[in-house]
Amino acid sequence: MVNAPVYQNYINGEWRAPSNGETVASVNPANRQEIVGIVPSSGRDDLESAVAAADAARKAWRDLAGPARGQFLYKAADILESRLEDIAETMTREMGKTFGEAKGETARGVALLRYYAGEGMRKIGDVIPSTDAGALMFTTRVPLGVVGVITPWNFPVAIPIWKIAPALIYGNTVVWKPATETAVTAAKIMACFHDAGLPAGVLNLVIGSGSVIGQGIAEHPGIHGVTFTGSNAVGKRIAQAAVARGAKYQLEMGGKNPVIVLKDADLELAVNATISGAFRSTGQKCTATSRVIVEKEIYPAFREKLLDKIAQLKVGDGMDPSTWLGPCASESQMETVLGYIRKGIEEGAELLCGGKRLSEGNLANGFFVAPTVFDRVTPDMTIFREEIFGPVIALVQADNLEEALRLANDSEYGLSASVFTRDIGSILTFIREMDAGLVRVNEETAGVELQAPFGGMKSSSSHSREQGTAAIEFYTAIKTVFVKA
C-alpha cells in the first residue's frame, strides 16, 4: 500500500487532495495483493468547491462558440489516443476486463470525443414559419448550466466520455463523480482534458463514495442536470432527489437481456453471439445476454454446441494475452454472482456448467467465477428475473416465436434483445413486438454504436436516450425565439 501511486481530485483546474484527508485503495480484482492506486474518499466540502468552480466557469464556457469548444475535445481525443495502452492497462488492472477489450473501449473513447467535437459545428435549431410574415421565428439550444455526471465501473472510459463530451460541447460545465472502483482510470481521463488545456472549472473530478458525493450531486441546488448510469436502486434515489428540487435528470440502468434462437437460425452464429454477449467483460455489461430462449426443435443441438464452446474459454488475468474471460470487478461483485448461482440451484434450475469460484493456482488471488449455464429455468425463478451482472446465463425452451416473445418480454427491464433467424416474417414480428430500446437481428445483445441513440424501455432507463442524435436532448434546453424588426 505504501508504494502505490496516489491520485487526487481535480477542481478548478488543479489537482487537490481531499479536504478530509481520507483515502481508499483501488484493488486489482485479478490479484487482490496489487493496489493500483490510492484514491480520495472525498467529503461534501470537496463537492462544494467543485460546484462553485463549475458555476464560476459557466458563463465564459457557454459564450465560447461551439467550434471553439470542439477544439478542446479534438485535443483531448489526440491525447487519449496517445495514452491508449496505458489507460487500457489501468482499466484492466482496476476492474478486470481483458486488455483487448480495454483497448477497444479506450479507442471508443477517442472516437466519442471526435464525434462530439464535430457536434460543435452542427445545427442546433430550426426556422419555423410564423403567422406574421414579417417575423423570424426559430429555435436554438442553450446549455442547462452545471451538469452532474455519475458513472459506474463497468465501462470506466466510454460511459464517462459519452456523458462528459456532449455536456461540454453543448456549453455546460461538469462535476464528475466516477465509480470509486475505477477512480484511477477516471483520474487518467481527467488528465487528458487538463493537458488539452480545458479552462479551469469547466470539468471537475470529485472521487468519493456514492452515498456522500453521488447523493450530494443529486441533491445539490447548484447542479442543473444529473446524468447517471448504474443500478436501478441508486437510479431511483437520484430521480427522487432531482424531482424534489426540479432538476433535469437522465438514468441508464439495468437489463435482463434476452436472445431468441429460432429453429431456422444459423446455429454456429447464434452460439458464438450468445457466448460473446453473455461472457465478454465477464457478463458485466448492461447489455449482456442473460436469458437464452431457444425453439424446441433445435434446443438440444444448441445446448450441446454452447457447452462445447464454453468449455474452451480460458479464464484468467485480463493482462495475460491468452485470457478470454477475466475476473469479476470486485469481491462484492463476485459474492453477488455466487449468491445468484446458489439461488438458481435452490429454486430448482439445473446447473449445466460452471457454478463456482475458480481458485486453482494464481486464480486464488482473484475474484474469478467459472462461466455458468443453467437449464430448465422458469419465469418465476430469481435468475430469470433479476440482473446478475456476471458470467451466468439462463436457458429456456419455447414452443414457437410467440411463446419466445412472451418469455422475452416477461421482465421489468427492456434494454437490449436479439433474435437469430433467417425468416423475414419472424424478424419483422420480433422488431414490432419486442419491448426493448435496442433490438438486434442476427447479432449479439451487447454492442452499441456511438452515433446512434442508446437507452432502454421499462425500468431500464428514465425513458430518455443517450448518444448519437439523441444526446442533445438531455444536455440542452430549447429556446424559441420570435424576432420582429
Catalytic residue set: 252, 286
- 40, 230, 354, 391: residue in contact with ligand NAP (rule CB under 6 A): 230
Determine the Cα–Cα distance for residues 289 and 342; give it in Å rounded to an integer: 20
What is Dmax (Cα atoms) for the chain? 80
Please list, residue by residue across 42-58, b when 16 or more beta carbons sit within 10 angstroms of its beta carbon and e when fewer do. Answer: bbbebbbbbbbbbbebb
Stretch that binds ligand NAP, among 14-22, 92-100, 214-222, 438-446 (CB under 6 A): 214-222
Q: Coil, strand or helix: which one is 34?
A: strand
- Residue 289 sits in the site that holds ligand NAP (CB under 6 A): no
Q: Among residue numbers 238 through 277, which ones bind ligand NAP (CB under 6 A)?
A: 238, 252-255
Give the binding range for ligand NAP (CB under 6 A) out of 7-15, 53-61, 115-123, 148-156.
148-156
**Rounded distance between C-alpha atoms, residue 481 and residue 442, angstroms:** 46
Residues 162-181 that bind Mg ion (CB under 5 A): 181
- Segment contacting ligand NAP by CB under 6 A, of 25-33, 146-154, 267-275, 374-382: 146-154
Return the number of the residue (32 or 141) whose C-beta is nearest ligand NAP. 32
Nearer to ligand NAP, 306 or 393 (CB): 393
Closest approach, Cβ 240 to ligand NAP, in A, equals 10
All three cell numbers of 288: 449482456
CB of 27 to ligand NAP, least distance (A): 13
**218 binds ligand NAP per the rule CB under 6 A:** yes
437-466 residues near Mg ion, rule: CB under 5 A: none
Beta carbons of 141 and 477 less than 8 angstroms apart: yes
Count, in order, helices (H) and strands (E) of the chain: 15, 22
Cβ 92 to Mg ion shortest distance, Å = 10
446 binds, options Mg ion, ligand NAP, none, Cβ within 5 to 8 A by partner type: none
Contact 232, 254 (CB under 8 A): yes
- Residue 463 makes CB contacts below 8 A (sequence gap 6+) with 455, 457
User: Contact between 152 and ligand NAP (CB under 6 A)?
Assistant: yes
Residue given cell 467550434 in the structure block: 67
Applying CB under 5 A, the span of 24-32, 131-139, 239-247, 400-408 interacting with Mg ion comes to 24-32
Q: Which CB, 36 or 261, lies closer to Mg ion?
A: 36
Closest to ligand NAP by CB, 19 or 336:
336
* Distance of closest approach, residue 28 Cβ to Mg ion, in angstroms: 6
CB of 234 to ligand NAP, least distance (A): 3
Closest contact distance (angstroms) between CB of 440 and ligand NAP is 15
From residue 216, give the alpha-carbon distance in Å to each of 50, 135, 225, 237. 12, 45, 13, 11
Contact criterion met (CB below 8 Å) for 11 and 46: yes
The whole-angstrom separation of Cα 48 and Cα 221 is 11
In degrees rounded to 5, what are phi and psi of residue 410? Answer: -80, 75
Residues in the chain, total: 485
* Binding piece for ligand NAP, criterion CB under 6 A, among 117-125, 198-206, 224-232, 377-385: 224-232
Spell out where 301-434 has E strands.
Answer: 350-353, 357-358, 368-369, 372-375, 392-398, 413-414, 416-420
336 contributes a contact to ligand NAP by CB under 6 A: no
Applying CB under 6 A, what is the total number of residues that bind ligand NAP?
A: 32
Contact call for residues 471 and 480 (beta carbons, < 8 A):
no
Interhelix angle 183-195/158-169, nearest 10 degrees: 40
According to the binding rule CB under 6 A, does residue 231 interact with ligand NAP?
yes
Output the CA–CA distances (angstroms, integers) from residue 145 to 52, 58, 113, 474, in the order listed. Answer: 12, 7, 20, 12
Strands (E), 104-165: 135-143, 146-150
Cell (9 digits) for 216: 450530494
Q: Evaluate the CA torsion angle 185, 188, 65, 49 in order and state its sign.
A: positive
Q: Does 462 bind ligand NAP (CB under 6 A)?
A: no
- Using rule CB under 6 A, residue 211 touches ligand NAP: yes
> Which listed residue (219, 317, 387, 444) binds ligand NAP by CB under 6 A?
387
**126-165 mask for Mg ion (x: CB under 5 A)?**
----------------------------------------
Applying CB under 5 A, which residues contact Mg ion? 27, 94, 181
Applying CB under 6 A, which residues contact ligand NAP? 150-155, 177, 179-181, 209-211, 214-215, 218, 229-231, 234, 237-238, 252-255, 286, 387, 389, 415, 456, 460
